[in-house]
Amino acid sequence: SDLMYQNAVAAFSGVDKKLELAARTLGKSPWTVFWTVTLPLAWPTLLAGIVLSFARALGEFGATLMLAGYIPGKTDTLTLAIYFAVANGENDRALIYALIVFAFGLTVMYWFLAFSRRRVLRYRLGDGAGAPDDRAP
């Protein structure tokens, strides 16, 4: 989606080229530089794009309904299931589906925050990739 594209462009253009060049002068291949320098630095912005695209996809039940129609058991999505459950007066079923989406969203956010926290702690302790090593002479 456009959200992911814009975040990817911002993520990769925001990486300091001097860091990539420094890795290249140390003899690293372009592929190694990408995986060990560029991608880790761009990852938070890329992840934001993924989350935004995912959230937009969850909310796009209108396009799914118009293009694919609603064929129970074939073109079901959670958002369509919630919509039609409410439309049919099955509020309990709609609530269960909404709780599933909510729990999934909380799980993804918790994972993201825990992952980010671990990376920051590793960097501060000097154990992360590219982190300063206080033990070196």
Q: What is the pLDDT of residues 72-95, one digit of tens each?
A: 777 677 777 888 889 899 999 999
Tokens of 50: 């993924």
Q: Do 74 and 51 meet the contact criterion of CB atoms below 8 Å apart? A: no
What pLDDT does 110 receive? 84
**Strands in 49-129 per DSSP E:** none
Q: Using the 3D structure, point to which of 42, 59, 76 is the last residue of a domain.
A: 59
48 shares its domain with 69: no
49 shares its domain with 93: no
**Calpha distance 32→53 (Å, rounded):** 28
pTM of the model: 0.53
50 shares its domain with 71: no
55 shares its domain with 66: no
Residue 123 has pLDDT above 80, yes or no: no
Residue 3 has pLDDT above 50, yes or no: yes
3 shares its domain with 40: yes
Domain coverage including residue 84: 61-129
- Residue 2 falls within a domain, yes or no? yes
In this predicted model, what pLDDT tens digit does every residue of 19-41 receive, in sequence order? 999 999 999 999 999 999 999 99
H or E element, residue 3: helix 2-13
Q: Using the 3D structure, point to which of 59, 83, 99 is the last residue of a domain.
A: 59
